[in-house]
Amino acid sequence: MRIPTSLPLVAALAMPRVAVSYAGYVAAPALMVNWLSSRSYVKALFLLAFLMVSAFTNWALGLQFSFTTWALEIALILPFMAAVLGFTPNRFIDGRRFIIMLNAIVCISSFISLLQMGFPLRLPYIHYLPDFYNGGFGRGGAKIVTIIGFFGVAEALSRKRATTFRDNWSLLVSLLNFIVPNFILGIVAGFAGLAIFARKNRAFLFGAAALAMMLVPYLQYRAEQRNDTFAQVYGANPKIYSFIIIAKLYAAEPHTFMVGTGAGQFSSQPAIWTSPVSRIIGAHELPKLPGMFSAEVHQKYLAPLMLRFGDQRYAIESSANKPYSGITQMLAEFGLPVTLILLFSAYRIFWRGSGSDFGRSVFLFIMAVNLLDPQIDSPWFGAMLFASLEAIRRDAKIRMLARAEGMERESGLYFRPRKQAALQPAE
């Protein structure tokens, strides 16, 4: 049996999450890019130039700036940037197979985690929290599994399948990864993305309705139980208040409107890792590198809001209660112009340029999940985005070749011969 060439990259992304594992998480998506293509290196050079200008602008203005967290954040956002800017994938990458393999490995790792909790004699949602279905990533890893599961479900729904288990096992595995973990924001954003398939797929519509009947009561229960201390103190939902924070930042530091605070300096992963807030919401082992410290803009505009709840960690521990998201992170760290460019590029590539429900679903998910939770510097989110980009481009080539051979689309990526317009006259 032939071993897929992308399996080592999948294995690197599936390693248990500890500080040293981040080297593999960063390296795997970087190896998915064909850096010799002009479509990759030219855009990468322009992006790096902007990030350097942003960093030195903030440093020259006298703001306390950590170049270590800046470099670390660049490594973490690279997969996301490569996907939304349309870098060229390496030839050995098969996007669909990559998504399927990662879902399969993560599902197996998650069941191993459940076995350690006593499964099947002890059940998630009943005897312990479903957060232990976490792909072996540890505490907080259930969020990663949900993200991976969404891309698996979208990939499966975008190709033609029979009703046999052989053709649907990847869909079932991905559904487990998407539904079982307790990441409510990810599930809501995922359904927003998957809704695009309801237009042409009645089976999906009925299946989604059946899932909704089971999930909606639980989602309503979770919404009623959510800690709203932050909203009571500041007078707005944390996700809405995050935009108020950006407005205050732009008003006090006008240059951030154009160039941002610099990568890794405001609400990105490295900014939270180095923040005193990490003592309250820290969920796993953090990397410790020379020169890592909390930036001045984070300490001034974001940390005080959260440190106010030092004795009430549940007021800010949940993803729904954090006053930042992926969109506000881009607005803060990259500025408004670059944020708009990145979002428009994502729209152009995944919605307008894909010509498929798979691409449209991915774009809707990009927007929905990053309005609710910061995902742009998640290596898993970025890697799955880039795998989706490769799959979309491969699908486009299949459609182009089929049209060139005089075929017309029947469904999905499958084509049938075109009917003759008229019979040839008899001789």
Per-residue pLDDT reduced to its tens digit, 318-351: 888 899 999 999 999 999 999 999 999 999 999 9
Structure confidence at residue 1 as a pLDDT band (50, 70, 90) = very low
- pLDDT above 70 as % of the chain: 86
Does the pLDDT of residue 247 top 80, yes or no? yes
- Condensed to tens digits (0 to 9), the pLDDT of residues 36-88 reads 998 899 999 999 999 999 999 999 999 999 999 999 999 999 999 999 999 99
Q: Is the pLDDT confidence value at 286 over 70? A: no
CA dihedral 49, 51, 54, 59 (to 10 degrees): -100
**Non-local CB neighbours of 95 within 8 Å, separated by 6+ positions:** 89, 386, 387, 388, 389, 390, 391, 392, 394
Residue 348's alpha-carbon distances to 86, 158, 159, 317, 338, in angstroms, are: 10, 19, 22, 35, 15
- More confident of the two residues 331 and 310: 331
Q: How far is CA 369 from the centre of its chain?
A: 7
Of residues 284 and 223, more confidence is placed in 223
Which segment of 108-112, 271-275, 341-345, 371-375 scores lowest on mean pLDDT? 271-275
Give residue 79's pLDDT.
94
The whole-number pLDDT of residue 311 equals: 78
pLDDT score of 407 more than 90: no
Residue 410 has pLDDT above 50, yes or no: no
- Of the pLDDT bands very low, low, confident and very high (cuts 50, 70, 90), residue 206 is low
* Greater model confidence, 220 or 260: 260
Look at 341 and 312; give whichever has higher pLDDT.
Answer: 341
Report d(CA 78, CA 84) in Å as an integer: 10
Local confidence band at 5 (pLDDT 50, 70, 90 cut-offs): confident
Reported as a pLDDT band with limits 50, 70 and 90, residue 419 is very low
Q: In angstroms, rounded to a whole number, what is the distance separating the alpha carbons of residues 283 and 139?
A: 6
What pLDDT is stored for residue 291 in this prediction?
Answer: 82
Which residues touch 144 (CB under 8 Å, ≥6 apart)? 17, 106, 134, 135, 137, 378, 380
pLDDT tier, 360 (very low <50, low <70, confident <90, very high otherwise): very high
The count of C-alpha atoms lying within 13 angstroms of the C-alpha of 268, restricted to the half-sphere facing its C-beta, is: 30
**388-406 pLDDT tens trace:** 999 999 988 887 887 776 6
Phi, psi of 294 (to 5 degrees): -75, 130
The answer to whether the beta carbons of residues 283 and 195 sit under 8 Å apart is: no
CA 398 centroid distance within chain: 27
pLDDT of 228 > 90? The answer is no
Q: Are 110 and 136 in contact (CB under 8 A)?
A: yes
Between 209 and 382, name the one with better pLDDT.
Answer: 382
User: Is the predicted pLDDT of residue 34 greater than 90, yes or no?
Assistant: yes
Q: Residue 416 — very low, low, confident or very high, per pLDDT cuts 50/70/90? A: very low
- Inform me whether the pLDDT recorded for 284 exceeds 80: no
Q: Which amino acid, residue 300?
A: K
Flag the least confident range among 49-63, 157-171, 252-266, 279-293. 279-293
For 13-37, what is the mean pLDDT? Answer: 89
pTM above 0.75, yes or no: yes
Q: Which helix (H) or strand (E) holds 177?
A: helix 165-179
Q: Are 291 and 67 in contact (CB under 8 A)?
A: yes
List the Cα angle 411/412/413 in 5-degree steps. 110
The per-residue pLDDT of the chain, averaged, comes to 86
- Residue whose token pair is 């020379």: 290
Whole-number pLDDT of residue 159: 83
pLDDT digits (tens, 9 = 90+) for 99-158: 999 999 999 999 999 998 888 888 887 888 888 899 989 888 899 999 999 999 999 999
pLDDT band at 17 (very low <50, low <70, confident <90, very high): confident
pLDDT category, 417, cuts 50, 70, 90?
very low
